[in-house]
A and B are shown apart, each in its own frame.
Chain A
Amino acid sequence: MSAPDVLKVVLTNRNAAKAKYGASGWRRIRAAVTTLVKADAARGIATRFFALDSAADCRNVGATPITEAGDAEKVKATIDSIFATRNPAYLMLLGGPELVPLVNLANPLWTGDPSHDPDPTVPSDLPYACDSPYTLTASSYRGPTRVVGRLADLTGDTDPEALLVQLHHAATAGSVRRASPEPVFAVSAKVWVGSTTKSVAGLPDVSGAVRTSPTDGPAWTAADVAPRVHFVNCHGAEFDPNWYGQVAPSNWNLPVAIAAANVTPSMVPGQVVAAECCYGTAHWHPSAAGGQASVALSYLLGGASGVFGSSTVAYGPASTTEYADVICRLFVEQVLGGASIGRAALVARQRFIQSQAFLDPIDVKTLAQFALLGDPSAVPFVTGAGVAPGAGGAGGTAAATKTALRRALVSPPMASRSIRTRRDTLTAIGEALHRTTVSCSATSRPRAQMTHRSLAALLGRTVPPDTVIRAYDAERAAGPLPRGLAPRAQVAFLPPMAREAASLVVVREDPGGPPDVRVVLRR
């Protein structure tokens, strides 16, 4: 029998799911997966369930069954075997880290002092999207080739309802015809409105003003959140079910911009979210927040098709766009162009890498930390055969926006052999990126390569004498570049000064060019 043109693998650990949800809970989840398989078949996608702990499933791909659910190295090896033998167009990880672990990559920005960057590791799905060998060195995953998304459950919660709801949404998801312009719901901390405005302006053919917190939110109306694309550039924190605005860099009395408690069931049907917020897609027990799930999970339970966000502290500048801003914009750009959200995540990762002369340590963390929650085969927008009627008009008039928001759902596009062709192209791009991308090493040199005085001169501000400056050499996957040709990044965490917030400074030095100085803040 020949392999199907468009294969989707739904992968989980059956024993871990049974241990968490009980036999009856597992039966309900398995039945919901079967419903999804049927719905996918109607779209031309052959979906296969794969249990990481099943001897039969593993034998079929030449892998050995997983005996410890948290063994990320073996999970990665099994996924590598699945791609080597079946080459699926989509991989959907079913469940949170209790069922399918994230890979805890070493954070290149970790200094040992959590008041700098608090993350010793970056929990990541990126290794599953790469065919390079397993390692905990984040910069080794510089050539993503695979479309991967995760349908996360609620960490620590033994009620399978969250997973069942999301499986139901995945099985019944529709698309809409892309409007021209397409309305976007963009929310920004007021201090970063310049950056957010630039990100949204970089999206093709969209409308909608950037809403700022304060004073907008968190009591958004149904009309406010009706646009199918949400772009959020706000603060976030671990174990915190809110995303926050900020009025001024030195004011840490942060107003709530988006509250998970306000994202109610059916409020965001089919919406897709790009969230720059720190810990936007982190997995934590809702009981840590009084029983309230994270904003990302609340979106997904409320019907959203996907959330693209960060597992850890993310970075971006206040008034320009770098790092989290860029990868989120690239993701939304692809979604608006009619990509599945899984392909959008893969292309965003690839273009993020391609857009840099070399990857500095913040690039490396950004690439590792952003991941997709949702069914990777979901297609929010249908493009091509005519945009939504009546929605035209440059700038997006109120009438056009209303028309666009009243669009009926249409069937998602039928999967065809062209998806396979596209995957082959993306695989080739990822493989080329792995070979050619120059990336900073995992650890810094023992001594800085820049003085405090020269850093202060570049920044035009005082650099306290106790500031530690770290230098990272860049190299190819195959090894170091010839002496004199290797780019370098100098990194320093600066304390707050006058009216400036604490920041992270990166001086990117490419041989032969002037230094590129970036000052970024925690999102």
Chain B
Amino acid sequence: MSESTQTGRVSVRRVARGSKSEQISVVFTTGERTWLLRRAGAAAFAPDPDLAGLDGRRVTVTGYEGNGTFLVTADPVPDD
């Protein structure tokens, strides 16, 4: 398994919006697949404001393709 580069769109899913329990998932969708997006070294369970800031953007990311998570090893490059 080596690093790969993928281009797709970032979307933020908010559940329980506005509540104390609001949770944010950053989702990355290519034409082929959908992953949760996470940066290498970042906490796996906490929201990542930097990635969430890419909501709606089309980006190119480099990193590891997991089963449910795409682990980003370099800053995502906006592509739109």
Q: Which residues in A have some Cβ–Cβ distance to B below 8 Å?
A: 98, 112-115, 118-121, 123, 155-156, 235, 237-240, 244, 250, 252-254, 279, 282-285, 288-290, 311-313, 495-502
- Asked if B6 is at the interface of the complex by the 8 Å CB criterion, the answer is no
**CB-contacts of B1-35 with A (<8 A):** 1-2, 13, 15-16, 19-23, 25, 27, 33-35
Chain B 45-80, CB-CB to A under 8 Å as 1, else 0, gives: 111000000000000000110111101010000000
User: Is A155's CB under 8 angstroms from B1's CB?
Assistant: yes
A-B contact pairs, 19 of them (CB 8 A): A115-B13, A115-B27, A120-B68, A238-B67, A239-B64, A239-B69, A252-B23, A282-B66, A282-B67, A285-B1, A285-B2, A288-B40, A289-B40, A495-B15, A495-B16, A497-B16, A498-B20, A501-B21, A502-B15
Chain B residues with Cβ below 8 Å from A497 are: 16, 19, 21
B4 CB → nearest A CB, Å: 11
User: Is A237's CB under 8 angstroms from B21's CB?
Assistant: no
**What is the CA–CA distance of A501 and B45 in the complex, to the nearest angstrom?**
13
User: Is A288's CB under 8 angstroms from B64's CB?
Assistant: yes
Chain A residues with Cβ below 8 Å from B21 are: 250, 495-501
**What is the CA–CA distance of A239 and B70 in the complex, to the nearest angstrom?**
9
User: Is A115's CB under 8 angstroms from B67's CB?
Assistant: no
Chain A residues with Cβ below 8 Å from B64 are: 239, 284-285, 288
Chain B residues with Cβ below 8 Å from A120 are: 33-34, 67-68
User: Is B68's CB under 8 angstroms from A496's CB?
Assistant: no
User: Is A114's CB under 8 angstroms from B27's CB?
Assistant: yes
Question: Which of B22, B36, B44, B73 gathers most chain A CB within 10 Å?
Answer: B44
What 9 A-B pairs come out closest when comparing CB atoms? A118-B68, A237-B44, A496-B21, A115-B25, A495-B15, A115-B13, A238-B66, A238-B69, A288-B64
User: Is A252's CB under 8 angstroms from B45's CB?
Assistant: yes
Number of interface residues, chain B, beta carbon within 8 A: 32
Chain A residues with Cβ below 8 Å from B13 are: 113, 115
Chain A residues with Cβ below 8 Å from B25 are: 114-115
**What is the CA–CA distance of A228 and B25 in the complex, to the nearest angstrom?**
38
Closest Cβ neighbor of A117 among chain B residues: B68
Interface of B: prevailing SS: loop
Interface of A: prevailing SS: loop
B3 CB → nearest A CB, Å: 8
B61 CB → nearest A CB, Å: 14
Chain B residues with Cβ below 8 Å from A239 are: 38, 40, 44, 64, 66, 69, 71
Question: Which of B27, B34, B45 gathers most chain A CB within 10 Å?
Answer: B45
User: Is B36's CB under 8 angstroms from A114's CB?
Assistant: yes
User: Is A115's CB under 8 angstroms from B15's CB?
Assistant: yes
Indicate which residue in A112, A250, A313 contacts B68 across the interface (CB closer than 8 Å). Answer: A313
B55 CB → nearest A CB, Å: 13
Given known A239-B40, A239-B64, A284-B66, contact A496–B15 (CB-CB < 8 A): yes
B37 CB → nearest A CB, Å: 9
User: Is A112's CB under 8 angstroms from B34's CB?
Assistant: yes
Chain B residues with Cβ below 8 Å from A253 are: 43, 46
User: Is A254's CB under 8 angstroms from B45's CB?
Assistant: yes
Chain B residues with Cβ below 8 Å from A235 are: 45
**What is the CA–CA distance of A115 and B67 in the complex, to the nearest angstrom?**
13
User: Is A238's CB under 8 angstroms from B68's CB?
Assistant: yes
User: Is B35's CB under 8 angstroms from A118's CB?
Assistant: yes
User: Is B69's CB under 8 angstroms from A118's CB?
Assistant: yes
User: Is A237's CB under 8 angstroms from B1's CB?
Assistant: no
Chain B residues with Cβ below 8 Å from A285 are: 1-2, 64
User: Is A121's CB under 8 angstroms from B34's CB?
Assistant: no
B39 CB → nearest A CB, Å: 10
**What is the CA–CA distance of A313 and B44 in the complex, to the nearest angstrom?**
13
**What is the CA–CA distance of A98 and B1 in the complex, to the nearest angstrom?**
8
A330 CB → nearest B CB, Å: 25
Chain A residues with Cβ below 8 Å from B23 are: 252, 495-496, 502
Chain A residues with Cβ below 8 Å from B44 are: 237-240, 244
Closest Cβ neighbor of A157 among chain B residues: B1
User: Is B68's CB under 8 angstroms from A119's CB?
Assistant: yes
B48 CB → nearest A CB, Å: 12
**What is the CA–CA distance of A408 and B35 in the complex, to the nearest angstrom?**
48
